[in-house]
Structures are given as C-alpha cells and as structure tokens.
Amino acid sequence: MEIKGKSALVVGGASGMARATAEVLVAEGARVALLDLPSSKGEEAAAALGAGTRFFPCDVTDFEGTEDAIARACDALGALHFSVNTAGGGIAKRTLAKEGPHPLDAFRRVIDLNLIASFNVARLSASRMSRNEPDANGERGVILMTASIAAFEGQIGQVAYTAAKAGIAGMTFTMARDLGSLGIRVMTIAPSLFHTGLTRGIPPAMEETLTKDAAFPKRMGRPEEYARMARAIFENPMLNGSTIRLDGGQRFAPK
C-alpha cells in the first residue's frame, strides 16, 4: 500500500521504535496520530514531527480509554490505513522463586500490557480500516504488532513476557486469515534488544556483552531499523500473516 496520502495510528509513538516509524510515515506523506501515556513526551513528539501530527494520551491497559482515544484519533485523521503498536514491557520473575510461586496478578499485568492491549488496538484498528474503499490492489489497511525474540527463546525470569509476546506472534497468522477477505494485512515484528526504553544509553561494554551471541551486527538494534522494516511491510502486499525476527541473528541465552 502506498504511504503517501494515507493515515496512520502509532501507539507508543512518543519515543523509540514507534516514534522512528512515525517519522518515516510523515516523511513519506502520511497523516499521523500518536498515542502514548499521558506522562510521555507525546505533545513534544507530535510538534517535532509537524505535518499536522496530533497526540492523544492513552494508557493501553485502560481498554475502554484506549477505545475512546483510538476513536478520537481516527475521527481526527478522517480514516485509518496503518496501525502500529510498540507499547509493552515485562518483569523479572521466575515461575517459582525463593519467596514462592510467580504472583498471578503480576503475570496478568504483563499479559494485559502486551497481549490483551495489542489485540485491543488491532481489533479496533481493523474496524476502522474496514470502512475504507479498497485501493487498486484491493487493500484497505495494514496492522503491525510488536512481539520480541523472547517469544521464541525467553530467558530465565521472562515467563510472563514470553507468554505475552508468544501470544502476539501466535495470533498474527490467524488474524490475517480473519481479515484477509477485507483486504487488511496483519504482520508482527519480533525485535531483539533495541536502543529504546530501559536499554537506551547503556554503556558500550554492557551492549557488547548483551549482544555477543548475535551473528551480525554484534550490537543492539536502532529504532530507525524497526522503522525501515515497518515501511517495507506497509508497502509490500505479499507480506502478510508472518512474524519477522529483527535481531541480527541474536538468540537469547538462558540468562
């Protein structure tokens, strides 16, 4: 699908991989709405992007609030063709530790933040995209979710995060089948360690240790590399129903 003249919803767009994706979309002539936490620098990000970019405060674990924010954002955009969601996070807790079994509430919070919120954004985006007139190729929109290579080889203490991200990867193909008759594609990117969030600005020596098992390049990913992959997904109609590892050949060690 051609990016120019289209409308995009970028969840987590105040920083990191989502903001880099928003920058690419704006540069290619798309209209963009950013969603992120009220405490984020979303207003500053929208102002920096320009081109009429607007920010809509949203906590993705507030599912009703997310529905309202997406509705307002899509109304402001006038339509929705691309949906990108990078919001997520995890905790470090083993299934069984010295203090006892993994707390269920903590497990649920990670599932809510990553898996349930991703599905919520996707289902609401699909509803909006279904209203579009199909383009010359029969496309109405593209939904892009974000997993992690932890979905495939999670480390010790990542059981909740692994379950959540594996769920995102697992539902990608089925969702693509669900939405195929509408001309809506669904893809997921599974990054390795990227310079975002808690890992942004870590010392070079620590980065070298964390990425020593990568094939090449032996470094953390950069937000713009996620954005380049997102652009390729949006523009290539044959990319559908798959999870793409974006990891430089990295395989997480047990810990």
Give the residue numbers annotated as catalytic, written as ranges.
161
For the chain, state the CA radius of gyration.
18
Establish how many alpha carbons lie within 13 A of residue 7's alpha carbon, considering only the half-sphere containing its beta carbon: 17
What single DSSP character describes residue 116? I
Q: Point out which residues pair with 8 in neighbouring strands.
A: 32, 82
Q: Which residues contact 90 (CB under 8 A, 6 or more apart)?
A: 110, 114, 150, 158, 160, 161, 164
Angle at 76 between CA 70 and CA 82, to 5 degrees: 60
Angle 177-179-183 (CA atoms, 0-180°, nearest 5)? Answer: 115
The position carrying tokens 């704006």 is 26
